[in-house]
Amino acid sequence: MIPQSFIQDLLGRVDIISVIEAYVPLKKGGANYFACCPFHSEKSASFSVSPTKQFYHCFGCGAHGTAVSFLMEYQGLGYVEAIKELASRAGMTVPDDRQSSGAAALEPKLSPLLDVLTQAARFYRDQLKHAPRAIDYLKQRGLTGDIAARFGIGYAPDGWQSLSAIFSDYPKVPALVDAGLVIKHEGGRLYDRFRDRIMFPIVNGRGQIVGFGGRILESGEPKYLNSPESAVFEKGRELYGLFQARQAIRSAGHAIVVEGYMDVVSLAQFGVGQSVATLGTATTSAHIHALFRHTDRVVFCFDGDAAGRKAAWRAMAGTLESLADNKQVAFLLLPAEHDPDSFVRAHGTTEFAQRVDSAQSLPEFLIAGLKSEVDMATAEGRARFAHEAKAYVERVAAPLLRLQLIKMVSEAAGFSQPELESAWGLKPSPAPVRPEPSIVRTPKPSRRSSPSTVIGTLLRLVAHHPVFAPRIPLALLPSDTDEARALTALVDGIDVGELSTQSSLATVMEYFRESPHEAVLAQQVGQSLDEEFESSVTEQVFQDAVSHLRWSHLDREFQAMQRKAGAEGLSLEELSRYRDLIQQRAELSRRTKVSDS
């Protein structure tokens, strides 16, 4: 593990302009530099690089990051390799963090696991050269040596302790068991988990091997065997082939999710390099967020048989909470006799690309699937259709897409939209209004910015200017939004000293690499690379945003008190607090002009 302090020092010495200019010609335009994006095809220069923020962002495809990110994306380097490359340019030596206090607790657990996985991958690749049966199998599937090398494909020999060839102290290497390479029998006997299988290394976002998938050569079960979850491997977060597919995804403008390792590799062999696969699990929100960092469109492509349709439906259900109004999810079910590999062989990549382009949108797929389960010609069938749809529509977080689904369901079921919303309880009839005390007759000021907008503003502000972090009123932040959680994590990072109030934007982004907050932080930062938060306006932006936060906090308490006053009355103590809230709201409105009235 590389110390965070070293990475911060490295990013302080490296100039992102010189790093990128070594590969892409940049042209100065105002405070920033511009070029045609190296990650997607375009004719106008929408790729912007900021020398002051040490950050790049493409306003066309959304690619963004630091000097580290650029080397990883452009050169295909792993995280550690990119750090070492930058350190070499800066004349710095990457330290060994084994005694570093910041990572001392993690190092004994993670580093040995990554080391044995890397050594095992090398061993499996070497063994493939001496395994005619495995080579014949790959050739029958149409794979070339180049594509096998690109994905690091190998072979696990048919022996109980084949890995002892490279781990001489095989029984005394606990990392082998912890990494899932070796199984410990109840009687204490150790043996290799993977035997006589084609081996597919699973690579994380930093280019590190974190697990394997093994396919049996002969008939038998299980057909595919995956590494168990470990301290470095979580199936619900990793996607097979994503590390290799990133540039192809951006070039194609979409990602294709298929069912298995061979589908990914075979499609790549035919030039469809934008394919990835889940690892024997249903699609998770982490999978979708990872893909949406690279593209705005994700297409699930499954076999057209019953198992494929079932897998597609599970994938659809797993994406609902992660949908966004500016993203697209679609579904392509191939003819029952085909999988992606056989379809491309039979019909060619052009036909496959056309089917991907015309894949069924998620709303269409959802509605069609629900309708297929009932008799829509009867009133009972339509009622059941609407009933079943509710559970899915309620899980959609994207407000506009959710509204579209409500309209589609109401039209298909023969209801008006208000009728359906009322039946679903989305817009319940208002409760009778009780007389309220005269003290509540003050007009309610309207806000010019929603709380989520304000928090996004503060998140971008602190990312650009961490000096504002100590002044963020964390107690006023809600806990139910990604932006608020990311802002809290950023402030905490500065508070505990892992970041400083002088950290650059690049340092902040690297600090959150591979964290749950990376995506939302990158999205917010990408909106403000050029026009927002220069030194002349930051103080006023901060004061306005905090005023809006205080207003929202007061307003929530006021509304709760107002409801209680109308429903059951207030105690004398609550009545006193009620008056205070009215006065505070009025004063805050007068001082900060939060009200539009």
Closest CA to 496 of 102, 106, 103, 99: 102
Q: Are 39 and 251 in contact (CB under 8 A)?
A: yes
Query: Cα–Cα distance between 408 and 236 in angstroms, integer?
Result: 31
* Residue 335 preceded by cis peptide, ω within 30: no
Query: Cα–Cα distance between 297 and 165 in angstroms, integer?
Result: 45
Question: What CATH fold (topology level) applies to the domain 368-424?
Answer: Pheromone ER-1 (1.20.50)
Q: Which residues pair with 201 in a beta bridge?
A: 212
For range 286-312, the mean pLDDT? 88
Considering only 129-133, 271-275, 282-286, which range has the smallest mean pLDDT?
282-286
Match 């990549």 to its residue by tokens.
349
Q: Are 114 and 209 in contact (CB under 8 A)?
A: yes
What average pLDDT is seen over the chain? 83
Query: Cα–Cα distance between 404 and 361 in angstroms, integer?
Result: 12
Question: What CATH fold (topology level) applies to the domain 4-98?
Answer: DNA Primase; Chain A (3.90.580)
Q: In terms of pLDDT, which residue wins out, 522 or 206?
A: 522
| pLDDT tens-digit map of 423-480 | 998 854 444 333 333 333 333 333 444 556 788 888 888 888 888 888 888 877 877 7
**What is each CA distance from 108 to 99, 136, 164, 222, 512, in whole angstroms?**
10, 40, 22, 33, 22
User: E strands, 139-234, where?
Assistant: 154-156, 182-184, 190-192, 197-203, 209-216, 224-226
Helices 242-252 and 285-292 sit at what angle, rounded to 10 degrees?
Answer: 50
Q: Which residues pair with 535 in a beta bridge?
A: none
**What is each CA distance from 456 to 447, 452, 507, in whole angstroms?**
16, 6, 19
Q: Is a pLDDT exceeding 90 seen at residue 251?
A: no
Considering only 140-149, 232-241, 497-506, which range has the smallest mean pLDDT?
497-506
Match 């009932």 to its residue by tokens.
374
Domain definitions of the chain by residue range: 4-98, 110-226, 242-358, 368-424, 451-592
Q: Is a pLDDT exceeding 70 seen at residue 46?
A: yes
Q: Are 211 and 238 in contact (CB under 8 A)?
A: yes
- In percent, the amount of the chain with pLDDT more than 70 equals 84
Q: Is 117 exposed, middle or buried (0-12, 13-18, 19+ CB in 10 A)?
A: buried
513 contacts: CB under 8 Å, gap ≥ 6? 68, 79, 205, 206
Q: Is 404 exposed, middle or buried (0-12, 13-18, 19+ CB in 10 A)?
A: middle
CA atoms within a 13 Å half-sphere pointing along the CA-CB vector of 150:
19
Query: Cα–Cα distance between 335 and 314 in angstroms, integer?
Result: 19
Q: Is a pLDDT exceeding 90 seen at residue 110?
A: no
Quick check: do 242-358 and 451-592 share a fold?
no
Question: What CATH fold (topology level) applies to the domain 110-226?
Answer: DNA primase DNAg catalytic core, N-terminal domain (3.90.980)
**Residue 64: phi, psi to the nearest 5?**
-160, 165
Q: Is 236 exposed, middle or buried (0-12, 13-18, 19+ CB in 10 A)?
A: middle
Residue 96's pLDDT is what?
A: 62
Residue 27's pLDDT is what?
A: 92
Query: Cα–Cα distance between 523 and 154 in angstroms, integer?
Result: 38
Q: Quote the pTM value.
A: 0.64
Domain spanning 451-592: CATH 1.10.860.10 = yes
Tokens in use for 586?
Answer: 């009025």
Tokens in use for 227?
Answer: 């590494």
Q: Where are the alpha helices (DSSP H) in 270-398?
A: 285-292, 306-319, 340-357, 362-371, 379-393
Query: Cα–Cα distance between 509 and 53 in angstroms, integer?
Result: 11
Query: Cα–Cα distance between 427 and 418 in angstroms, integer?
Result: 8
For the chain, what is the radius of gyration of the CA atoms? Answer: 28
What is the three-class DSSP state of 198? strand
Looking at the structure, give the CATH architecture of the domain made up of residues 242-358: 3-Layer(aba) Sandwich (3.40)
Q: Where are the alpha helices (DSSP H) in 279-319?
A: 285-292, 306-319
For range 2-18, the mean pLDDT? 87
What would you measure as the largest C-alpha separation in the chain, in angstroms? 89
Residue 437's pLDDT is what?
A: 35
164 contacts: CB under 8 Å, gap ≥ 6? 170
For 559-564, the CB contacts below 8 A with 24+ separation are 562/436, 562/440
Residue 82's pLDDT is what?
A: 87
Look at the alpha carbons of 445, 447, 448, 454 in this order and tell me if their dihedral is positive or negative.
positive
Closest CA to 453 of 321, 323, 553, 548: 548
Q: Are 74 and 68 in contact (CB under 8 A)?
A: no
What is the three-class DSSP state of 447? coil
Q: Are 54 and 505 in contact (CB under 8 A)?
A: yes
Give percent helix, percent strand, percent coil of the chain, each to the nearest 5: 50, 10, 35
Query: Cα–Cα distance between 275 and 352 in angstroms, integer?
Result: 13
- How sure is the predictor about 575, in pLDDT bands with cuts at 50, 70 and 90? low
Neighbours of 229 (CB within 10 A): 17
| pLDDT tens-digit map of 314-342 | 999 989 988 888 899 999 999 988 989 89
Closest CA to 260 of 244, 274, 239: 239
| pLDDT tens-digit map of 14-27 | 999 999 998 899 99
Distance between first and last Cα of the chain: 56
